[in-house]
Amino acid sequence: MKYDTRDRQAIGGLLPSGENTFRILEKYEQGTFLAVPQLCTALGTNPIFVAFSCLTGSGRTKELHEDPGVIFRGGKIKTTSRILDDLKNTGHAVPLCVILDDCEPRRVWQWDTPQEEITAWCEMIIEDVKNDISSDWDVIPWSRIERGLPLAYDDILGRVSVPRHALLLHQQLDHMKRFPNKKLIGDMRDAAQRRIAEYALQGKALEEAFPHAILLQTETPWRVKDPLYALLRNDPLPIIHPYPEERR
């Protein structure tokens, strides 16, 4: 992996424990770390991994599947467990917070299912998986984090709808056209705009609620998804990509 001068300075300033963690993460990186100086800052404090686990379901029936999203399937859950185990075995354990985006069905897929019903479903699923995952994993619905923010989603939607974000909208819309979302039942352009607002709010929320967060990127393509978290932040969000970029 190539690093610029600023990146190398940040890496060189890590304490041994932080450098060990960095090298383990480097081993799993499938692309390129985003925001290396911020990643090193997080590793020098009390880092926490955060991952979003997108829900699955059917737009035709407007029903969610009985699972806690993509990070708990196949290779992703195995890779995540290996990362956490490698860090723990070297004495550098890092906790993980998995966030289920229970607001996405209404905001992005444009379902008319009551939000309270979707959130209750997610909470039930979280209870069901607690005995099957490590105690190091904290699984929570997104709405719980959002309730504690001084930001409102509708305000964010207006802030990201301005012309200077037109390229991001075009990229997100182009991706959605090439990989249609079977959960979506409404207008695709509106869904793309609302999804950008979700990413922007999530990025800002992590800065407020988890100032030392390192994002395990579960969504692709990275060139489209990664920049969206930065729209409202003061500092870039450190992002690592331990899972294969399956959609290109």
Number of domains in the chain: 1
Question: Does a structural domain hold residue 73?
Answer: yes
- pLDDT for residue 67: 85
What DSSP line would sit under 149-209, residue for residue? -S--HHHHHHHT-SGGGHHHHHHHHHHHHHS--TT--S-HHHHHHHHHHHHHHHHHHHHHH
Closest CA to 221 of 190, 244, 192: 244
pLDDT tens figures, 198-211: 999 999 999 999 99
Instruction: Decide which of 50 and 155 is more confident.
Output: 50
Question: Does a structural domain hold residue 245?
Answer: no
- pLDDT for residue 51: 97
Residue 136 has pLDDT above 50, yes or no: yes
Question: Does a structural domain hold residue 119?
Answer: yes
pLDDT > 70 in the chain, percent: 99
Residue 248 has pLDDT above 50, yes or no: no
Contact between residue 138 and residue 96 where contact means Cβ atoms under 8 Å apart = yes
Question: How far apart are the C-alpha atoms of 156 and 140, rounded to whole Å?
Answer: 22
**Is the full-model pTM beyond 0.75?**
yes
- pLDDT tier at 226, thresholds 50, 70, 90: very high
Contact between residue 201 and residue 146 where contact means Cβ atoms under 8 Å apart = yes
- pLDDT tier at 158, thresholds 50, 70, 90: confident
Please provide the average confidence, as pLDDT, over all residues in the chain.
91
Q: Which domain holds residue 207?
A: 5-240
Contact between residue 121 and residue 64 where contact means Cβ atoms under 8 Å apart = yes
Rounded to an integer, the average pLDDT of 28-37 is 97
Question: Does a structural domain hold residue 246?
Answer: no
Instruction: Decide which of 132 and 188 is more confident.
Output: 188
Q: Which residues have a Cβ under 8 Å from the Cβ of 149 and sit 6 or more positions away?
A: 201, 204, 205, 208, 209
Closest CA to 65 of 41, 100, 99: 100
> For the domain that residue 25 is a member of, what is the CATH number?
3.40.50.620
Question: Does a structural domain hold residue 248?
Answer: no
Question: Does a structural domain hold residue 206?
Answer: yes
pLDDT tens figures, 46-93: 999 999 998 989 998 999 988 888 888 778 999 999 999 999 999 989
Residue 247 has pLDDT above 60, yes or no: no
Question: Does a structural domain hold residue 247?
Answer: no
178 burial (CB, 10 Å; 0-12 / 13-18 / 19+) is: exposed
